[in-house]
Amino acid sequence: MILNQKIGKFTYLCGKAGIPGLIMSDPGIGKSTTLELYSKLMNMNLTVLIASQYAPDDILGIQSVEGGKLKRLSPAWFDEVIEKAKNGKPNLLFIDELTGCDEFIQMPMLELIRTKKLGSYSLPEDTQVMAAGNYEEQLNKAFKMSMPMVNRFLICNIGCEDIDVRELLDNTIDNISKSDDVDMQIDYIGLSKTGTWRCLDEAKKFIASNVVFDVRLDNSSETGLRGFSSVRSISNSFDFMKTADECEMVDNIVAQCISDTLGPGKNEIDFARNLRKFISNYKVDMTNITSDMLENMTSSEANECVTYLLSNLMLITPDIFMTIKKLADKKVINESLYEKLQSSILNM
């Protein structure tokens, strides 16, 4: 199911990049269940903070007088995170129903989400912050995300096109959660490797040339939280893109998350569609290299590929090796890199 792969990959890459992530969708599609599976698979302590059920003091902690001085006590949910962290595992703080609370609840959480601090209290350094919410019209238009809150997150919209009804009918997620097959679970939440950008700089240039500062919050079921590009949003998107590249997880899910965060681009173009198209043209699956692919690469791309193959010698077929030799003779591939590869093969 694309839904689980979107949420799983999005959560993983946000954690690696150190960026808070916001998952937006219709109610009841399995956001919380997928994050529970994710935390179990990644061996993380999960703490759920249901924002819509709290008052501001519940978020920040109540104030008390100690020794004649006013002091803010740590809130219960914070103490829960600290207590769980004693087992040495990394922590996942999941702020659910974020869009179901008013600005008086949202404001105390701004600093928490950005710095993972509550006044003088700090969450453990390895705490990842994720949030989830629903669209405005599904909340009777009672609440709206503030712009400062929105631009703290990288955003992932989940739509009907991401849901496989057959999996719901077969109770697939519960069966996989109870399974001992880790590889199947990893694949189910999208953590298997896909590919890397053949040129990360080109991807950055594409995004930079198609993003404008359009301070507009369009919170609807069709577009989700789109059309809001802040300096932080752009910085988060570039960090997310770089992390996906380093983790070899570049695909349309990554493109969609970046486009959800940055919104539409110049001249009313469909930014998401164009970004996905761009990624498909500039992505290479390093586990499925062919001699034809090598011949069509630029020099920097080919050298990057050979560097990867040096640590994965079993992927080199006779055709691939002969193509690499031909490219080395043409000075497309660095001579010393080719000699290192040749020596490694001879010593296998």
Q: What is the pLDDT averaged over residues 179-196? A: 84
Residues 44 and 140 occupy one common structural domain: yes
End residue of a domain, out of 281, 303, 319? 281
> pLDDT at residue 101 above 60?
yes
Residues 118 and 217 occupy one common structural domain: yes
Residues 266 and 292 occupy one common structural domain: no
Residues 243 and 332 occupy one common structural domain: no
Residues 98 and 25 occupy one common structural domain: yes
- How far apart CA 105 and CA 100 sit, in angstroms, is 10
Residues 212 and 242 occupy one common structural domain: yes
Residues 302 and 328 occupy one common structural domain: yes
Provide the CATH number for the domain around residue 235.
3.40.50.300
Per the listing, tokens 């207590």 go with 83
> pLDDT at residue 313 above 80?
yes
> pLDDT at residue 217 above 60?
no
Q: Is the pTM of this model over 0.75?
A: yes
> pLDDT at residue 33 above 90?
no
| pLDDT tier for residue 45 given thresholds of 50, 70 and 90 | very high
pLDDT at residue number 226 = 53
> pLDDT at residue 327 above 90?
yes
pLDDT at residue number 223 = 45
The number of distinct structural domains making up the chain is 2
Containing structural domain, residue 89:
2-281
Residues 67 and 201 occupy one common structural domain: yes
Residues 155 and 257 occupy one common structural domain: yes
What's the DSSP call for residue 139? G
Instruction: Provide the total of helices (H) and of strands (E) in the chain, helices listed first.
Output: 17, 13
pLDDT at residue number 213 = 64
End residue of a domain, out of 281, 303, 320? 281
The two beta strands, 63-66 and 69-72, are: antiparallel
pLDDT at residue number 221 = 43
Residues 181 and 302 occupy one common structural domain: no
The two beta strands, 121-122 and 69-72, are: unpaired
> pLDDT at residue 147 above 90?
no
Residues 163 and 232 occupy one common structural domain: yes
Residues 196 and 320 occupy one common structural domain: no
Residues 6+ away with beta carbon under 8 Å from 173: 1, 4, 30, 33, 34, 37, 167, 188
